[in-house]
Structure 1
């Protein structure tokens, strides 16, 4: 049996509860297994980013809870939640969020420094990741010296550095041109296939949706569809 890494139970997020309630999420159930390459799609305001923030422990639900490998992260507070996120969840954002004064190597290494990993382990992991994302020659470049696509690759490597349970990617291709987006998705799909890394995307991008092995559709804070694209569809996009 496949291992379930994310269990979202009856998740709701309600705003203006004292007046007219607005549901950003409405009683959502979601289970993600290890090794999935899943896209969450829907129109603006459908709840995609809210759902990712709940799964990642960046926001608290109004109702329900999230379990990561049987740990109820909704019940974690303060430093316990920060430490759990640091060691178990990788984040990739559309704005890259790299530290401007650090090189590509230093940005990738940053989370491992927070974890107090030994220098030898950090350097070995960074070298592995730079090779995987095809940027061995950019090791000493700062973000301003990199293209948008290269910066997002570094952001992916940084998220992967501490070997998290899964990667949450919120609109990771939104600020990229077509070629950079395709290249980034190829890298992420390769990591998923070869290392069984779990990716969950929030996206409007049809290129992400086309590559996903599972597509979850949100509307008005509810899951209205949960499908797996056909093998024929994947043959059109996988290399």
Structure 2
């Protein structure tokens, strides 16, 4: 924003501070200029002496402020926005901030000055220390060494549980049930029948292999 000193406040023909909005009539920017004037008056009200619309040509859109700085004998003119210099048209909140910084630097503009909260930092990933990592076998070993569990290793229930696990792995329980002889039949007769069945199965397989080789 450029500042230019001018004549004294006593010689000023208009109330201060004064905002002037020059707009190009050929570009039909009068409604845009009127909108900015309305926004500035709504926000600053009687803090402004005057808001003027000045028709111009050549694609002009310039917002200037003429005011009397505190303790100064002459007025100063500040360019708040120039479309050709700043590029395009200003945002309303940006124009208000620039005007506030000159005439009322300590004023809070509320939502215009509201800062967006910074995103919360992502929590650091917690890593487990190697010394804290224990396998299940190590935990079980420590539990077995505990005095309260010293008398539980040789308990009958523990032996039965171990036998059940071993039988489940070998699947011997089902095999024993399948080989149990029917009522009235001895174990020797059952074994003899099993041997005969295995012999017949072997001979049948041999015959099948012989037939396949002949066909080939």
Q: Same fold per TM (> 0.5)?
A: no
Q: Highest CA radius of gyration, 1 or 2?
A: 2
Which is strand-richer, 1 or 2? 1
Higher relative contact order (CA 8 A, sep 6+): 1
Calculate the TM-score normalised by the size of structure 1: 0.22
Q: Kindly indicate which of the two structures has a greater share of residues assigned to helix.
A: 2
